[in-house]
Structure 1
C-alpha cells in the first residue's frame, strides 16, 4: 500500500520546471569538535575580511555619520556610481556594465534575456562544461531553456572542441567558466580566440571570471579583452571572492550595449543595495590592499598544492582560491573525515572534493588529513 500523501486535484502546484531542477548545495558550516577551532573550507569564501577602507565606509553609513535615511530609501536601481567607477577601472563605457546580486545575479539576467522556451514548444539551448558551477543548470532550466552539459577532459578542463560539436540551431548561449569551478584550470587566450572564431556570431558567449583576481597564468584568457574584440561576448565579475564582500552580493556583467539594453529589462530592481554599492566602490579605491590579501591567498594556494603533490596527490592545476581532489566515489568519505577534524569541505558525490584555501591553520589541518588519507 502506498502511504505517501498524494496532492489533491485542487492543490496549489508549482511550475513543472521545479521538478527538473537539481538542488543547489551551498557549502555547509563546519561541525564543532571539542578542542579544535572550526574552519569552513566549503564555499570558496575569502578568509580575510574586507579591507579597512570598506569597513570605514560601512561603519560611517550605518552609524549615521552620513544621512541615515539611506537605509529607508531604495537604492539607485542602475548602481550608477559603481558602474562609473568600474568603467574607469576597466576602461569601458558605463553603459556596457549591468550590476546584479553577485555574478550569479548577473548571469541570471543574461539567461533570462537570451534563452528560454517558445510558444511552439521548443526550448533554447545553453551549453556549458560539466562539472562546472552547479548553479548553471538551475538558472538555465528555471528560464525554460535546456542545458547541454559537455564533460570535462581527463585533466579537468573545458573540452572546447566537444563544446563546438554540441552547437545546434537551438543554441543561444555558451558559458565558459575560467578558472573552472570546482576544478580550477583556466582557459588560454589562444584556445578561446580559436573557439570564438568558430562559434556563430548570433550565439552569446559568456566568460565567467568570478575568480580572475587569483589567476597567475601568463596565457590565461582575459575576458574583457575578448569582449573588446567580439561583439557576442559578455563577461561576468564579482566582488564576492577577491574583495571579500560575499555577504553583500555585488556582481556585474560587461557586454556591448546591444546586449546590455536587454539585460536591464529583466534585471531585478534594486538588487544591489546602497551599502553594497558603496562597499564595492571603497574596495576599488583601496585596490592595493585588496591585491595584497589576494596574494596571501595565492601564496597559500601554491603552498597547499605543492604539499599535496609532494604527498602523492594528483591535483589539477588551479588558478582559483580552491583545490580539487578527484576522489570519485570516495568524495563523501573524505568530506566526512574532514568533518571529524572540524573542517567543512565541499564534496561532489561520485566526482571529487573541492577545498577552499582558508586560514593558515585550516590549510595545515587539511594537509595533515590529506597526507594521512593518501598513505592509508
Structure 2
C-alpha cells in the first residue's frame, strides 16, 4: 500500500488557520493550569451577539457531535424514537443508541432526503427528527421552503434538530438557515461547529441554539462537556474574522465544484454538493475506487453501507491528484 500523501477522508478544512487564531492559542499557553471561564459564558455571549439572540438560547460544547449527544440524551431516551434521513452522518445511529433511544433511518430515492417519508415515519414515540443540512456524505442542500414544509408536517410533540456543520460551504442564497425557524418556533434547535468553516477541528468547539426551555436542560451536563480554555479563545478569535472564513469557504467550494466537474466528465455519478466534499457513486466498484486512490496516496472513505465514496476537498495539489487517479481508474474500466 502506498504512503498516504493526501488525507481526504476526514472533511478537514485545509485552509491556513484564520488570522488571530494561532496568537489566541499561544497567548494561553502559560495559563492552561487555570479554569478561567469554565462554562464558556463569554463565548456563548459573543456567539449570541453575532446571531442576534439572547445568550440563554446558546450553549457551547466540545464540537457539534458532543452537542448532538447532549441534546439526544436530554430530549430522547429509552422508549423513544429519533427519526433521521439516510444516507447521512454515520455517527447518528451511534449517538441515538447512546441515548438509549431507537434510531429510525428513512432512506430516500437516489440517496436524496425524502422529507415526506420522514414525516410519515413519525409516531407517538418520536421525540426528535434529526437532519443534516447540507447532508453529509451526499452533499444535498435543503432550502428554506423544504425545511419549513417538514416542520409544518411534524406534530407538536416532536423537536426538529438541524445539524448545520457544513452550511458555510453551500450557496447562501439556496441553503436554509434553520436559525430563522428557531426564532419563531420553539420546536427547532440548530447545532453548528467551528471545526469546518473556521478550521478548528483539532480543538473541538461548537454551539447549539434553541428556545431557552430546550437549551436550559442541556446545561445540566455541560460541566462534563466543557470547552477547553484554549478552544474558547480560538473560537472567539475566529468569530472576529468571519469575512475571511467566508472567503476560505468560497474558495473551497470552487475547488469542490472543479473536482466534481472533472469526475463527471470522466463519466462518474457525482451529485452536486453543498459541503466540503463530493459523493461518488460507483455501485459495486466503490471499494475498488477507494483502494485505487489509496494506491495513489489518497485517503477517502466508503460510507453508508457501501453506497458511495466521500471525497473531501483538499488543496489544489490534492484535488489534482484525485482527478488524475480517477482518470486512470476509469481508463482501466
Check the 8 A contact 2:268/2:282 in 1, yes or no.
Answer: no
Counterpart Cα distance in 2 of 1:290 and 1:97:
21
Query: Among 14, 24, 28, which residue is 1:47 paired with?
Result: 14
Kindly report the root-mean-square deviation, in angstroms, between the aligned alpha carbons of the 2 structures. 1.5
Give 1:24-43 correspondences, 5 Å limit. Answer: 32=3, 38-43=5-10
Say yes or no: does 1:113 pair with 2:74: yes
| Equivalent pair of 1:127/1:147 in contact (CA under 8 Å) | yes
CA distance 1:75–1:124, shift in 2 (3 Å): farther
Aligned ranges for residues 186-205 of structure 1 at < 5 Å?
Answer: 186-205=141-160
The structural deviation recorded for 1:143 is 1.0
Structure 1: distance between partners of 2:74 and 2:163: 17
**What TM-score results when the alignment is normalised by the length of structure 1?**
0.85
- Provide the C-alpha distance between the structure 2 equivalents of 1:270 and 1:202, rounded to a whole number of angstroms: 27
1:56 aligned onto 2:56:
no
Is 1:180 matched up with 2:180?
Answer: no
| Aligned ranges 1:321-332 → 2 under 5 Å | 321-332=276-287
Secondary structure of 2:191's partner? strand
How many Å separate the matches in 1 of 2:134 and 2:187?
20
Please name the residue that 1:100 is paired with. Answer: 61
- Measure the CA separation in 2 of the matches of 1:329 and 1:109: 37
Residue of structure 2 equivalent to 1:275: 230
Q: Distance in 2 between matches of 1:267 and 1:311?
A: 49
1:356 maps to 2:312 = yes
**Aligned pair in 2 of structure 1 residues 61, 77: CA closer, same or farther (>3 Å)?**
closer
The count of residues paired between Structure 1 and Structure 2 equals 331
Query: What is the CA-CA distance between 1:268 and the residue it aligns to?
Result: 4.5
Residue in 1 that maps onto 2:46? 85
Q: Partner of 2:165 in structure 1?
A: 210
1:227 and 2:186 correspond: no
Unmatched 5+ stretches in structure 2:
none
Note the residue ranges of structure 1 that are not aligned, 5 or more in a row: 1-29, 63-67, 118-122
Residue from 226, 229, 243 that aligns with 1:288: 243
Tell me if structure 2 keeps the 8 A contact 1:114–1:173. yes
Matched, 1:138 2:94: yes
The residue number in structure 2 matching 1:374 is: 330
Q: Name the counterpart of 1:127.
A: 83
The Cα offsets for residues 120-171 of structure 1, whole Å up to 9 and x where unpaired, read as xxx10000011110111101111110000000321x2210010011011100
Computing the radius of gyration over CA atoms, which structure comes out larger, 1 or 2?
1
| TM-score of the two chains, using structure 2 as the length reference | 0.96
Deviation at 1:374, TM superposition (A): 2.7
SS at match of 1:245: coil
User: Does the CA contact (< 8 Å) of 1:239 and 1:280 recur in 2?
Assistant: yes
Separation (CA, whole Å) in 1 of partners of 2:87 and 2:225: 32
Measure the CA separation in 1 of the matches of 2:53 and 2:208. Answer: 12
Quick check: 2:44–2:59 contact (8 Å CA) kept in 1?
yes
Q: State the SS of the aligned residue for 1:72.
A: coil
Cα-to-partner distance string for 1:185-237 (whole Å, 9 max, x where unaligned): 11111111111111012111001100011011523211111111211000010
TM-superposed CA distance for 1:347, in Å, is: 1.2
Q: How much does 1:331 deviate?
A: 1.5
- 1:31 shift after superposition: 5.0
Q: Distance in 2 between matches of 1:329 and 1:224?
A: 39
Indicate how the Cα distance of structure 1 residues 153 and 346 shifts in structure 2: closer, same or farther if over 3 A, else same: same
Q: Distance between the aligned counterparts of 1:101 and 1:217, measured in 2?
A: 26
Q: Could you tell me how far apart the structure 2 residues matched to 1:312 and 1:330 are?
A: 14
Give the whole-Å Cα distance in 2 for the aligned partners of 1:208 and 1:293: 21
